[in-house]
């Protein structure tokens, strides 16, 4: 059993992920209002992977294909922590 992924940890992992940081820098160069907003799903089943789609919000919208991004978090049993297993923009 592992702890649920918190919104704070999810955002911190994005901040320190090179691919995610570079993608955010790129989309901010196109639209300065862009931010990542991660809405985590229900974790009552204690999932070891969590996928979140459409995390880039620009001008309040997350349906702009040119800025779209997806992240997958995975619980690392050996390190005993959540990590980003996939980021795609």
Segment 8-17, tens digit of pLDDT: 999 999 999 9
Contact 82, 5 (CB under 8 A): yes
CA–CA dist 49, 54 (Å, integer): 17
pLDDT greater than 90 at residue 25: yes
Q: How many CB atoms lie within 10 A of CB 19?
A: 15
Residue spans of the domains in the chain: they are: 7-88
* Assigned token pair, 41: 């799903």
CA–CA dist 19, 44 (Å, integer): 29
Region 43-58: what's the mean pLDDT? 96
Q: Which pTM was predicted?
A: 0.92
């Amino acid at each position: 059993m592992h702890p649920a992924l918190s919104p704070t940890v999810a955002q911190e992992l994005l901040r320190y992920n090179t691919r995610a940081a570079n993608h955010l820098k790129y989309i901010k160069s196109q639209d300065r209002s862009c931010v990542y907003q991660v809405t985590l799903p229900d974790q009552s089943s204690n999932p070891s992977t969590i996928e979140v789609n459409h995390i880039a919000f620009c001008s309040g919208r997350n349906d702009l294909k040119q800025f779209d991004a997806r992240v997958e978090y995975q619980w690392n049993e050996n390190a005993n922590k959540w990590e980003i297993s996939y980021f795609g923009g």
